[in-house]
Structure 1
């Protein structure tokens, strides 16, 4: 399962070994126990990746193999590719921009996405530090 945590200023992507259903059920139980409102709805999430990362081509091949209903890749410009994922948005309200997006796809595609996202974070951090 892929989990994208959106904050006011950024987002964080991670792979979880837990199933989507188990994770959502735990979140619902937690919300009930703490008396917090809870909203879940189907939605898409998008983010950009630099096209010059080595595994981008491998991700394209993996998407063609069988995750087309869940993930779409689109060229933005010469430097970036847009990754669009179908999944579920979990937050305190349907209008909230801070929350968690979750989706599930093949383990291999999840691995490539996480690896590419981490590489993109590292490359942008090195550019900022220079």
Structure 2
């Protein structure tokens, strides 16, 4: 399972071993125990990767696998970036909140490879800023 955590300024992509159902169930129980509200809804999350990132060709191959077609798409944005669109579930304190978490699941090899690409892009961007 992949988890994207969105804040006002950025997001973080994590690779988790739990199933979506287990992860959401644990969050619902926690929210019930602390007496807060929780919104869980089907949604789409998108993020950008550099178009010159090594391995994007392999990502396109992973996307074409039958069991990923309805979960992930990769689109060319411009000459510098591609957009990765994922379908899954958005969790936040209410439907209008811009901070929250997004979870999705696809085959393990695609999740692992997408996480690796995001880490490479994130590391490259951090080094460029320094």
Quickly name the TM-score band, shorter chain normalised.
over 0.9
Shift of 1:14: 0.6
Runs of 4+ in 1 over 2 A off after TM superposition: none
* Corresponding residue number in structure 2 for 1:124: 125
**Root-mean-square deviation (Å):** 0.7
State the number of aligned residues: 129
Unaligned runs of 5+ in 2: none
Deviations 1:67-88 (A, max 9, x none): 1100011001111100000000
Q: Name the CA distance, whole Å, in 2 between partners of 1:44 and 1:88.
A: 7
Unaligned runs of 5+ in 1: none
* Corresponding residue number in structure 1 for 2:76: 75
**Secondary structure, in 3 states, of the residue corresponding to 2:65?**
helix
* Corresponding residue number in structure 2 for 1:22: 22
TM-score calculated relative to the size of structure 1: 0.97
